[in-house]
């Protein structure tokens, strides 16, 4: 047995660096967090080859003296914990591991100057060994440059990805930190090309529109909620404005970017009946609560947190998001698809065709017209009309695919109708309405499907669907012990949804009753799926989603079908109910129920602007 010995300091730092510095984006995150904690108002970031060649962060913070720089390069030396109350930490960094860990696996150049110093100071650490130090010329603040990352640790270097992949990870880090602090200006350059530049002093909503997506400003709802000591702010995208992956969900706890399964599960639960299962919401949420209610010291990377009262936090986020969406999601993602808009094409002018005597069908439209002097407007008619004018066919014009009734007088209160007044029906499927600010097209089946679902809920159909059907012979489902533990903790919640289970030994669960709506399902597969869902999200949402699917199916079969002819009064009644019903901007599958074409866009189609 070899003798026990103390490891060299350089080796200890390299081992610690494995937890803190996994790739260039990890080093970048630590350096930018240090700049934020130093009180910087402007942070400039420069990358080379996705961070593989260079990561440089320059800030205008408080700076460090030469002695402080020397101490900052030692492990577990920090200015961010003035006492031992680690549960009260309010800064992004506090472990004192980042700089020495980075310096042990790369060439690190640290330059800093305090505001009262005449000049700055520089220290260069090459893979754990100080190679140079001396005066440096720089304005007040700090500049840190990391080069040759893992150059002397080939076992780690070979696991790094391509420069493109590493750059994408670095960009995601900068976006999250820029979202966390809208009061700070950020700039990012990659291989000499400016990628990102945002000014400080913005609000969270404006910063989110710049960083996440510009469309979020028009297709999102602001969130400002409080419950006791907890506060939830930010912007949440409408359900119809969604993505195929969850990489546009930005979550922050006390200003710290986190990737926490409880929070992502809460977001999924809030959007449960408004999005398809393979679609994800777009949002930026900021949760603030007392520091002693959350543990940020779970992992050196500090991206995971633990809450003292996880159920209260989850309930607050779910109810807060649903409350915000219920006031704003009568709207839909307004912008029509660019591909669809491009199909609106005007017929090209063919001046060489000479006008001819119109057919009888066209003559009835222009009765009393002197056709011996045709106007330019007739010469510019569409190809189909020119064929009629030229006498190519004597067949009457094809019947229109739409149906219109005699226009009614617009009521005085029409200005208060966001969805306007119905003017007709196209293909017996789409309602065309005229609003004060544009043209509204409504998918009658999708819209009525949402209205029926909300009526079912209001009538207590959820309780009926979640009713319990006792099994004649209880089923024993064998699972591994951790899965049984997870299911046992959620047994009371499942009972409210009609699933009655109890523990049956260390590695089995006994199913006594199934929800009435899915009584024919397989208990073994259901419990396995529920256990996996709890393991992934912290709390199971799967059973509720299954019951929501039953309700949605009932709503689908009980709603107005596409192809049904509606009268104008029925169309208007549908529009008015949509305006009163929460979440009517999207159907039960997350698709929009209506879109609007502004009058400005309509005028552009006809060349008026």
Domains and CATH numbers, the chain: 9-198 (3.30.565.10), 204-328 (3.30.230.10), 346-389 (no CATH), 418-609 (3.30.1540.20)
- Half-sphere exposure for 386 (CA within 13 Å, toward CB): 17
Lowest mean pLDDT among 87-91, 138-142, 262-266, 474-478: 87-91
Q: How big is the chain by its Cα radius of gyration, in Å? A: 32
Asked if pLDDT for residue 354 goes beyond 60, the answer is: no
pLDDT confidence tier of residue 301, bands split at 50, 70 and 90: low
Q: CA angle, 46 as apex, 41 and 49 as ends, to 5°?
A: 155
Give me the pLDDT at residue 406, please. 58
pLDDT at residue number 140: 95
pLDDT band at 375 (very low <50, low <70, confident <90, very high): very low
421 vs 582, residue with greater confidence: 421
Q: What is the pLDDT of residues 388-408, one digit of tens each?
A: 444 444 444 445 555 555 555
Three-state DSSP state, 350:
coil
**Cα–Cα distance, 609 to 603 (Å, whole number):** 6
List pLDDT tens digits, range 258-291: 888 888 888 888 887 777 777 888 999 999 999 8
Alpha-carbon gap, residue 435 to 438, rounded angstroms: 5
Mean pLDDT of the chain: 79
Closest listed residue to residue 300, CA positions, set 535, 81, 18, 582: 18
Residue 160 has pLDDT above 50, yes or no: yes
Q: pLDDT-derived band of residue 534, with 50, 70 and 90 as boundaries?
A: confident
Q: Which residues pair with 3 in a beta bridge?
A: none
61 vs 83, which has greater pLDDT? 61
* Angle (deg, nearest 10), helices 444-458 and 542-557: 120
- For the cut 90, the answer to whether the pLDDT of residue 419 exceeds it is no
pLDDT tens-place string over residues 504-514: 998 999 999 88
Q: What's the rounded Cα separation, in Å, for the pair 260 and 303?
A: 7
69-115: per-residue pLDDT in tens? Answer: 988 888 777 766 656 666 667 677 666 678 888 988 899 999 999 99
Q: State the pLDDT at residue 409.
A: 58
């Amino acid at each position: 047995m070899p003798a026990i010995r103390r490891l060299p300091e350089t080796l200890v730092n390299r081992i610690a660096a494995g937890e803190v510095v996994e790739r260039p984006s990890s080093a970048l995150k630590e350096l930018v967090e240090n700049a934020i904690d130093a009180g910087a108002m402007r942070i400039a970031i420069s990358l080379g080859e996705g961070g593989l060649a260079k990561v440089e962060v320059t800030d205008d913070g408080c700076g460090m003296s030469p002695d402080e720089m020397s101490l900052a390069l030692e492990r577990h030396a920090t200015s961010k914990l003035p006492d031992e109350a680690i549960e009260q930490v309010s800064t992004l960094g506090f472990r004192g591991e980042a700089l020495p860990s980075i310096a042990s696996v790369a060439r690190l150049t640290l330059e800093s100057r305090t505001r009262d110093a005449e000049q700055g100071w520089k220290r260069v650490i090459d893979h754990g060994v100080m190679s140079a130090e001396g005066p440096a010329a720089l304005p007040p603040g700090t500049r840190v440059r990391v080069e040759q990352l893992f150059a002397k640790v080939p076992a780690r270097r070979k696991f790094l990805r391509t420069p493109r992949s590493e750059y994408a990870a670095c960009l995601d880090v900068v976006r999250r930190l820029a979202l966390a602090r809208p009061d700070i200006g950020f700039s990012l350059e990659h291989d000499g090309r400016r990628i990102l530049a945002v000014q400080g002093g913005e609000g969270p909503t404006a910063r989110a529109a710049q960083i996440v997506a510009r469309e979020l400003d028009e297709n999102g709802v602001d969130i400002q909620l409080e419950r006791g000591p907890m506060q939830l702010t930010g912007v949440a995208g409408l359900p119809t404005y969604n993505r195929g992956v969850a990489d546009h969900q930005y979550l922050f706890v006390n200003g710290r970017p986190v990737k926490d399964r409880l929070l992502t599960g809460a977001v999924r639960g809030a959007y449960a009946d408004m999005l398809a299962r393979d679609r994800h919401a777009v949002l930026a949420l900021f949760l603030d609560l007392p520091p002693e209610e959350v543990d940020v010291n779970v992992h050196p990377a500090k991206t995971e947190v633990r809450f003292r009262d996880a159920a209260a936090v989850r309930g607050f986020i779910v109810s807060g998001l649903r409350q915000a969406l219920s006031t704003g999601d009568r709207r839909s993602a307004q912008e029509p698809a660019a591909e669809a808009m491009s199909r609106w094409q005007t017929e090209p002018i063919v001046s060489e065709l000479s006008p001819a005597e119109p057919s009888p069908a066209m003559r009835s439209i222009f009765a009393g017209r002197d056709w011996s002097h045709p106007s330019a407007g007739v010469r510019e008619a569409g190809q189909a009309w020119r064929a009629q004018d030229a006498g190519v066919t004597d067949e009457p014009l094809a019947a229109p695919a739409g149906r219109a009734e005699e226009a009614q007088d617009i009521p005085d209160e029409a200005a208060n109708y966001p969805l306007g007044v119905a003017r007709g029906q196209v293909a017996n499927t789409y309602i065309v309405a005229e609003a004060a600010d544009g043209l509204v097209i409504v998918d009658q089946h999708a819209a009525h499907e949402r209205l029926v679902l909300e009526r079912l809920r209001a009538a207590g159909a959820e309780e009926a669907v979640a009713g319990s059907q006792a099994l004649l012979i209880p089923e024993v489902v064998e699972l591994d012990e951790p899965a049984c533990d997870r299911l046992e903790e959620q047994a009371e919640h499942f009972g409210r949804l009609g699933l009655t289970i109890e523990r049956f030994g260390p590695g089995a669960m006994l199913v006594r009753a199934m929800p009435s709506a899915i009584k024919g399902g397989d208990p073994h597969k259901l419990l396995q799926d529920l256990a996996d869902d709890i393991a992934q999200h912290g709390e199971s949402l799967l059973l509720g989603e299954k019951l929501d699917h039953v309700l949605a199916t009932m709503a689908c079969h009980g709603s107005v079908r596409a192809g049904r002819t509606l009268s104008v009064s029925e169309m208007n009644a549908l529009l008015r109910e949509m305006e009163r019903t929460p979440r009517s901007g999207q159907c039960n599958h997350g698709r929009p129920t209506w879109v609007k074409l502004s009058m400005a866009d309509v005028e552009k189609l006809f060349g008026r602007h």
